[in-house]
Amino acid sequence: MSYCFNPDCLHSHQENNDDEFCKYCGANLIIQQRYRGVSLLGKSQLALTVEVKDGKFPQTNKVLKILLTSYPKAVELFQQEAKILQQINHSGIPQVQPEGYFVTQVRWSTKPLYCLVMEKIEGLNLEQWLQQQSQQPITNEQAFDWLKQLLEILTLLHQKQYFHRDIKPANIILQPDGKLALIDFGAARRVTATYLGKIGVNQGITSIGTPGYMAPEQIDGSALPQSDFFALGRTLVHLLTGKHPQELPKNLQTGELLWHQAAPVVSESLADLLDSLMHHLPGKRPANTQVILAALTKAQKSKNNFLKKWQKRLRLNVPVSLSLIVLPLSIFGVFNFGNNLNQRITTNKIQNAPLCNNLTCLNRDPIDNNCDNDAKTITSNIGNYQLAYEQLVAYKVELRYSERCHATWARSEAPYRSVHYVEDRQGNIYGQITVAKDGWNRHYADMGPGKNTEIRACAKPPTGETRCTNFVKL
């Protein structure tokens, strides 16, 4: 079969035989004396892509991209895409030969065809791949691997003084060997002094990108290389949650995504890194890909890599979903908590054994007792406290559990002079502490009970609402 390249052919999608001309419109079915269309891969208002056979190199098919408009700005971007792809040699970017860009006409048509022939990269784009996986999120390890691959590609692109401007799952291909490729450089932009000067006064800059992925400054037509980092972060969030960024809740004051609770496998270190990429101010994002790669390496080595950070400090009251609160406690060994408590206390002779792990001890601080090293967050919740000028700031309270210590306690990110504690169904408080200073590190209530009971963690700020987690049965 042969696909007709004539954009005006009403039957271009129909099968043609391997003839010289289209039997519907009469246009030639071979262009540049070498390319014959095999099938339509995609079509938009601005361009279509066709898989083609190359008569000069028949062993591998290629992709032909045809611009469907003669609008000067579109032609300029199309030519720029060709230039970028010709300059970069990387397995994660489609290769374009020097003769890959050309302008031609088909028979019986007066319209010029702006064409770009590039390497055909096999595989599914990540949007298709997610659909194939029923929108199941990727693993933490997969996210680290894919983020590193994409950063290596972006490094080459940014070194050539270009930035992509349209990073999203649909523009990333997962190849059969597990490697990623970045495609569709039609929105890419060259960083020049003239361009940066125009950003300052917002003159002559076009807003290009995809809603949900493009950075706030890009919406205003002021994209920067750091805008790619924002889109990269949003893309990883989509992959880690299985949800389009526009489906996730936002902080209405800052516009930041509230995505942590929708990503049950993400580690604290990775969540922090992605949040830094998606900061609403470009100046607060990493300066370049080298900085991100260094942070990525550090995050992978972090001892906290397997701890889940449920929710970043917010400025709104955002309840944690029940699907995250009601976690399978058996994973942490909690089902055996009460029965084995006394036995474990007397038989625990391992090195670095805790100083104390029951309510009869004088010192029940989980840090002093080396209990927090292997601890897990069982459940958490978010509350608000009030600052001056009626500003609401969020705080978090968590119920923590250490299998090694057989201990449960409360931890909070609440402000100075807040009180947090562990409470059972009858209102008995088993541990309570007043926050001595702002921060996170040592805001712990002492260890709670370990018998068959239901407990929760609560925090009360000096001004604002008391917030508790759901009750959890131990």
86 CB neighbour count, 10 Å cutoff? 17
Q: Environment class of residue 176 by beta-carbon count within 10 Å: exposed (0-12), middle (13-18) or buried (19+)?
A: exposed
- In sequence order, the 6+-apart residues with CB closer than 8 A to the CB of 279 are 230, 256, 285
SS3 for 167?
A: coil
CA angle, residues 391, 393, 397, in degrees to nearest 5: 155
Among candidate residues 18, 19, 166, 272, the one labeled active-site is: 166
Q: What would you report as the CA-atom Rg of the chain, rounded to the nearest whole angstrom? A: 28
- In sequence order, the 6+-apart residues with CB closer than 8 A to the CB of 26 are 107, 108
Looking at the chain, the number of H-run helices and the number of E-run strands are 10, 19
For residue 442, the number of C-alpha atoms closer than 13 Å in the C-beta half-sphere is 9
* Residue 220 known to be catalytic: no
CA distance 54 to 403: 63
Beta strands of 106-250 (E only): which ranges?
Answer: 113-119, 124-125, 162-163, 172-174, 180-182, 189-190
Instruction: Catalogue the active-site residues.
Output: 166
